[in-house]
A and B are shown apart, each in its own frame.
Chain A
């Protein structure tokens, strides 16, 4: 299997910049998820790794080989498409065996390996069927079979579960992950679904507006977002952001918001400008009776084990994840207590996190 390295990648379609300033290392054996809203450039990045698009600028390495401008067919990479892209004029067996046929593998060898793959993916009984007669899940299995039969260096998957039913998606995602582990593959998986990304990814790369913002394991992505966008895109509800109308200096341990002082982890650098954001996850805020920060309850959503309480405060609407035993009704006046250890300050201009004791 293989390591994929992307260096300062850029792709332009006419005037439109699809991907820019993106660097990334995907480690051997990782299940790497590329996550972002639609149009963020994740699919374009994947297609450049596959060789279906050539970058305007930058380099792509597979292991140590520079594959930036190699043809797709020469990269030994497999691609799984959202629409499956099974060839409708061939049956299951021929679809799975197709990549071997193009390589000129002998017929008996193809048959043997198709049978192996069929067994692995529970397609044994379907090998002679027409692909149009298959269910969505079986189609996706055939597409996976076509990808793994060649034993490629890496798998690229573009929202492979996107066109499946919700209940099917979950079981397929387990199967995918299991297959990844079984054959010890390096996988790059594109999705816009944060739950899928958190559930499946060993590491997650988050993209927005063509830029790779952060690539880390799911826990780090969630707890220590390096960009405001990451905090707002991951997590439901998203991270709370409070405007800070002040300069934040290296070494400072508190910020002033509307006259009250809030303790923050010690900053290790200055902010770029005198306008910043304070970010805090809803579960790092407690509802208390006393407290300096006060607000009125605006809404309560019950989620079973816990509830989301929305509070209107003097610096905006704050969402709090509270245990369901907490009693709060619309209009109640409550106090909020921030867990100062997990606060992140984001620069007001480029929206990157300011390095601190908590995040470095």
Chain B
């Protein structure tokens, strides 16, 4: 019996069969998770008619109508009036003309997108900035009431942030922070801060103190030791923390719909309000959603090499 036993692999390693089962489960989960993405992307490239046709069309003529609708405001005109116009100069005018409309001007989408970028990345920057400084202090210095302070920082996340919506709403109205970029950046920074302090403290705890000692004996001040020695080594943790903070700030809906209307409105409350004629303009909404997803995807891909080590922090032996 023992002669036929496979001794090439360690008994601790998974067998080929269990590996195959694992792969199958992952692929199954990935395909299910991917269905909404496929729907969003395919709808974004459908014409309005195809998007709401019954029975639903899975494959249809690709069309950029959704994108044109997303970026423009249009008015419907009579056939006689359209005849008097010169022929359309651009491809997008042509798409609009086919539906008996003319372009009246750009939509507000780009402005909302810029708002999302400013608020999302601004809040991420400040969360990580303050988080790193606080985490370094908690990790390295004797601070009175350190553990109580750390617990207090964590306790801000023990209730859902939206539970404080009413006081925040009143406070923001009094202070004139409603519908302002600054107000939203501050809000998201505060909400993210506890996460970033705790995550980053874990990372900085893992960096041996000797590095700073060595740098300080070698001629650096504590400040330059922090910037030149600690920061480069905490890069992984900072990247991972930044992704988590960005995902929250970018996707946040409840505060955004409550506190922003015009100037500082972000994409999450804006996208559902994209209305076409006679109902929701699904291709335009899908196009908006697709564009909305891109920055986080790009950011995550850029920081990918840090992320895997980052989210398993503490688990990997130095």
- Please, which residues of chain A bring their CB within 8 A of the CB of B208? 83, 85
Q: Please state if B221 and A73 are interface contacts (CB–CB under 8 Å).
A: yes
B217's partner among A77, A89, A103 (CB-CB below 8 A) is: A77
Q: Please state if A73 and B217 are interface contacts (CB–CB under 8 Å).
A: yes
Q: A87-B229, A89-B232 are in contact. Are A102 and B218 (CB under 8 A)?
A: yes
A50 at the interface (CB under 8 A from B): yes
Q: A73-B218, A73-B221, A102-B220 are in contact. Are A79 and B229 (CB under 8 A)?
A: no
Q: Which residues 80-133 of A have a CB within 8 angstroms of B? A: 81-83, 85, 87-89, 98-99, 102-103
User: Would you give the shortest CB distance from A202 to chain B, in whole angstroms?
Assistant: 23
A78 at the interface (CB under 8 A from B): yes
Please encode chain A, from 166 to 204, with 1 for each CB lying within 8 Å of some chain B CB and 0 for all others. 000000000000000000000000000000000000000
Q: Please state if B217 and A50 are interface contacts (CB–CB under 8 Å).
A: yes
Q: Please state if B213 and A73 are interface contacts (CB–CB under 8 Å).
A: no
B253 at the interface (CB under 8 A from A): no
- Please, which residues of chain B bring their CB within 8 A of the CB of A82? 210
Please encode chain A, from 196 to 225, with 1 for each CB lying within 8 Å of some chain B CB and 0 for all others. 000000000000000000000000000000
- Please, which residues of chain B bring their CB within 8 A of the CB of A51? 216-217
A238 at the interface (CB under 8 A from B): no
A79: nearest residue on chain B (CB-CB)?
B217
Please encode chain B, from 56 to 75, with 1 for each CB lying within 8 Å of some chain A CB and 0 for all others. 00000000000000000000
Q: Which residues 187-244 of B have a CB within 8 angstroms of A? A: 208, 210-211, 213-221, 224, 229, 232-233
Q: Please state if A52 and B217 are interface contacts (CB–CB under 8 Å).
A: yes
User: Would you give the shortest CB distance from A16 to chain B, in whole angstroms?
Assistant: 12
User: Would you give the shortest CB distance from B71 to chain A, in whole angstroms?
Assistant: 44
Q: Please state if B218 and A98 are interface contacts (CB–CB under 8 Å).
A: yes
Q: Please state if A103 and B213 are interface contacts (CB–CB under 8 Å).
A: no
Assembled-state Cα–Cα distance A79/B210 (Å): 10
A152: nearest residue on chain B (CB-CB)?
B217
Work out how many contacts link A and B, with CB atoms closer than 8 A. 57
Q: Please state if A87 and B221 are interface contacts (CB–CB under 8 Å).
A: no
Assembled-state Cα–Cα distance A217/B41 (Å): 81
A72 at the interface (CB under 8 A from B): yes
Assembled-state Cα–Cα distance A150/B232 (Å): 24
User: Would you give the shortest CB distance from B203 to chain A, in whole angstroms?
Assistant: 14
Please encode chain A, from 338 to 350, with 1 for each CB lying within 8 Å of some chain B CB and 0 for all others. 0000000000000
Q: Please state if B210 and A83 are interface contacts (CB–CB under 8 Å).
A: yes
- Please, which residues of chain A bring their CB within 8 A of the CB of B232? 89
A103's partner among B214, B219, B233 (CB-CB below 8 A) is: B219
A146 at the interface (CB under 8 A from B): yes
- Please, which residues of chain B bring their CB within 8 A of the CB of A99? 218-219
Q: Please state if B233 and A85 are interface contacts (CB–CB under 8 Å).
A: no
What secondary structure prevails in chain B residues at the interface with A? Answer: helix
Assembled-state Cα–Cα distance A75/B216 (Å): 11
Q: Please state if B219 and A102 are interface contacts (CB–CB under 8 Å).
A: yes
Q: A85-B208, A88-B233 are in contact. Are A146 and B213 (CB under 8 A)?
A: no
- Please, which residues of chain B bring their CB within 8 A of the CB of A72? 213, 216-217
User: Would you give the shortest CB distance from A77 to chain B, in whole angstroms?
Assistant: 7
- Please, which residues of chain B bring their CB within 8 A of the CB of A89? 232-233
- Please, which residues of chain A bring their CB within 8 A of the CB of B214? 79, 81, 85, 87, 146
Assembled-state Cα–Cα distance A313/B217 (Å): 54
- Please, which residues of chain B bring their CB within 8 A of the CB of A81? 210, 213-214
Assembled-state Cα–Cα distance A72/B224 (Å): 14
Please encode chain A, from 51 to 70, with 1 for each CB lying within 8 Å of some chain B CB and 0 for all others. 11000000000000000000
Assembled-state Cα–Cα distance A50/B213 (Å): 9
- Please, which residues of chain B bring their CB within 8 A of the CB of A71? 216, 221
B207: nearest residue on chain A (CB-CB)?
A88
A76: nearest residue on chain B (CB-CB)?
B219
Q: Please state if A73 and B219 are interface contacts (CB–CB under 8 Å).
A: yes
- Please, which residues of chain A bring their CB within 8 A of the CB of B216? 51-52, 71-73
Assembled-state Cα–Cα distance A102/B215 (Å): 9
- Please, which residues of chain B bring their CB within 8 A of the CB of A102? 215, 218-220, 224
Assembled-state Cα–Cα distance A238/B208 (Å): 36
Q: Please state if A73 and B220 are interface contacts (CB–CB under 8 Å).
A: yes
- Please, which residues of chain B bring their CB within 8 A of the CB of A103? 219
Assembled-state Cα–Cα distance A81/B210 (Å): 7
- Please, which residues of chain A bring their CB within 8 A of the CB of B229? 87
A80: nearest residue on chain B (CB-CB)?
B214
Q: Please state if B210 and A85 are interface contacts (CB–CB under 8 Å).
A: yes
Assembled-state Cα–Cα distance A175/B81 (Å): 96
Assembled-state Cα–Cα distance A103/B219 (Å): 7
- Please, which residues of chain B bring their CB within 8 A of the CB of A87? 211, 214-215, 229
What are 11 residue pairs bridging A and B, where the CB atoms are less than 8 Å apart in the complex? Answer: A52-B216, A71-B221, A73-B216, A73-B219, A78-B218, A79-B213, A83-B210, A85-B211, A87-B215, A88-B233, A103-B219
Known pairs A73-B216, A102-B224; list 14 more (Cβ under 8 Å): A72-B217, A73-B218, A73-B220, A78-B218, A79-B213, A82-B210, A83-B208, A85-B208, A85-B211, A99-B218, A102-B215, A102-B220, A146-B214, A150-B218
Q: Which 5 A-B pairs have the closest CB atoms?
A: A102-B219, A85-B210, A99-B218, A85-B214, A79-B217
